Amino acid sequence: MVVLAPVLLISFVLLLMQHTPASASGGGLLAGGRRWGPRAVDDGSTKYAVVFDAGSSGSRVHVYCFDGNLDLVPIGKEIELFKQATAGLRALGTERSEEILQAVRDLLRDKSSFKSQPDWVTVLDGSQEGAFQWVTINYVLGKLGKPYSNTVGVVDLGGGSVQMAYAISEKDAAKAPEVADGEDSYVKKLLLKGTTYYLYVHSYLHYGLLAARAEILKASEGNDYNNCMLEGHHGMVACFFNHLGKYKYGDDTFEASGSSSGASYSKCRALAVRALKVDEPACTHMKCTFSGVWNGGGGDGQKNLFVASFFFDRAAEAGFVNPKAAVAKVKPSDFEEAARRVCKLNVKDAQATYPDVSEENIPYLCIDLVYQYTLLVDGFGVDPYQDITLVKKIPYSNSFVEAAWPLGSALEVASSS
């Protein structure tokens, strides 16, 4: 569970009201009509949503305040109260994590005045995370309540998975292929600010940045994996890494040493394309992204793309985005150009050239940038010269809001009342 299911986010949402009537209305619509999340009370009063996110690298608390029109209201001087706490649940394993979740459920039931149900303290799957992040970004941009063609698409590159989410037409939604039992459907139906949206969302497990390194190394034949590794990489030690030029991910360890001839952009890119399984034969009757996954049909909801998480981090570290900026306009080709520069370097020169990159990530800077370009262009079909928006925080009412899923989760619940 530690890294093979890296999109698992332990979360719950609590709704606090200025007044608490005896009755409550139903939860919000998500996943084709399935109700998810706590039930909010509609008495016209201000709503405070508290979201706890216990992820892999730490636990975080987000607090939001909504007025009767579902607009964010400042809490003191801040639009969003945010607190990073220590430790996440992901590294504890399934059994221990469930024990903690049950303890939280018991606490809320027995000793808290918060409204709660046992299933409100839950594991958030990748598709839910992608959907909520789409809600967050479109809400802050003022797009919700408008036609789907006015919304923006979202790509979120995590460590273990990558999510794509964008609104499609009802006609395209009806063309969504059936999925196997136990798999998430491609389309989620959301009712937000009085408007119904058909949201294409898919979470690609094993294709987050850290997991993709393993997939690319796995796709190598012989020792051509070293085409992606910087010369001089023979012994880095870190959380996800092992010594002697090896890369450890989950229960697997891969050869990842550099060669005396150094990395090769073109050869590494060929490996990345192979790892993405762009020509997967499982998708022969419709257009796909990669690995046999339906692409949603495209359309206006995808024309403006907001890209988050590791995309922003690597762009900032590679020097073509201001690390202090909240948003930045780039093109996929910027990742390609950065990759071509990096792949020519050895570890020592890369450390001197890119001082903001951590020591454990330096040997993997070539493979990371190559993968990010390949994912956008070959995986998601984005034109290399199309403008995309890298986003970390989004301006809102003279403040900034994290471009992350918790606000979308809180809004989905608040809008249901």
Q: What is the mean pLDDT of residues 236-259?
A: 70
What band does 358 get if pLDDT is binned at 50, 70 and 90? very high
How far apart, in whole angstroms, are the C-alpha atoms of residue 238 and residue 256? Answer: 14
Catalytic-role residue among 129, 215, 402, 412: 129
Instruction: Quote the pLDDT of residue 142.
Output: 93
Is residue 129 annotated as part of the catalytic site, yes or no? yes
Instruction: Quote the pLDDT of residue 61.
Output: 85
Q: How far is CA 322 from the centre of its chain?
A: 21
Q: What is the mean pLDDT of residues 15-36?
A: 35
Instruction: Quote the pLDDT of residue 417.
Output: 56
What percentage of residues in the chain have a pLDDT greater than 70? 82
H or E element at residue 395: strand 393-396
> CA distances (Å), 105 to each of 114, 120, 175, in order?
11, 8, 39
Torsion angle of the four alpha carbons 63, 69, 74, 79, in this order, in degrees rounded to the nearest 10: 60
Question: Under a CB-based contact definition with an 8 Å cutoff, are residues 381 and 375 in contact?
Answer: no
